Amino acid sequence: MARERPTALLLDFDGVLRRWDPAVAAGIEREYGLSEGVFGEIAMHWGRLQPVLTGQVSHADWVSSVADALTESVGPGRARAAVEQWQRYRGEVDAEVLAFVREARAGGVRVGLGTNATDLLDTDLAVLGLVGELDVVVNSSVVGVHKPAKEYFQAACAALETPPARVLFVDDEDWAIRGARAAGLSAYRWDGPAGLRYLRAALAY
């Protein structure tokens, strides 16, 4: 049986609407004599990351734990300074994706941001000029459960006021795509703006 045409769009943030320039972190790591990729290695360790993505600890506490982990390498003062400098960069909005979001909303499609994020998300959206650009924001640290859990996608569809079968989810990670499909959503694996043609055809607004 053919799927229903989606009437709502749920977009991942990092890797889809927001891009990160890896050269920024790499430059700070070099400046402070840290090994390449150490910020990501420490920050993304699941035992450290999972609590902040589900609202059990704050973004500030998570960042402090990263600095603590670097203290042995460069000392407490330099560790804090390095992490503070790393955190000042909040990424960049993909202009083509934002234009697509505006176009879709103008065409009557409800658009939500569906992201595993910390309690800094609202601040980031303001800094990046994205306040008011989306109909809903579904933040894992607010929901209390993260992608790819079925409960996360249920919460996202409820926020969009759209049944799962009518929601198209876009993410750059295979595990998130699989989770969305298991929850009954349509899902598209993002690999860059070339995918916008497919999304426009799928939504047909």
Q: What is the pLDDT of residues 32-73, one digit of tens each?
A: 999 999 999 999 999 999 999 999 999 999 999 999 999 999
pLDDT for the residue numbered 4: 82
Question: Are 50 and 114 contacting, i.e. CB atoms less than 8 angstroms apart?
Answer: no
pTM: 0.94
Which among 139, 170, 164 has a CA at the least distance from the CA of 150?
Answer: 164
Phi, psi of 92 (to 5 degrees): -140, 145
User: Does residue 148 have a cis bond before it (omega within 30 degrees)?
Assistant: yes
- Paired tokens of 127: 């800094």
User: How do residues 67-109 score in pLDDT, each as one tens digit?
Assistant: 999 999 999 999 999 999 999 999 999 999 999 999 999 999 9
pLDDT band, very low/low/confident/very high, at 1 (cuts 50, 70, 90): very low
Which among 154, 108, 155 has a CA at the least distance from the CA of 135?
Answer: 108
Q: In a 10 Å sphere around its CB, with 0-12 CB exposed, 13-18 middle and 19+ buried, how is residue 165 labelled?
A: middle
Whole-angstrom distance, CA of residue 6 vs CA of residue 177: 16
* Amino acid making up residue 82: A
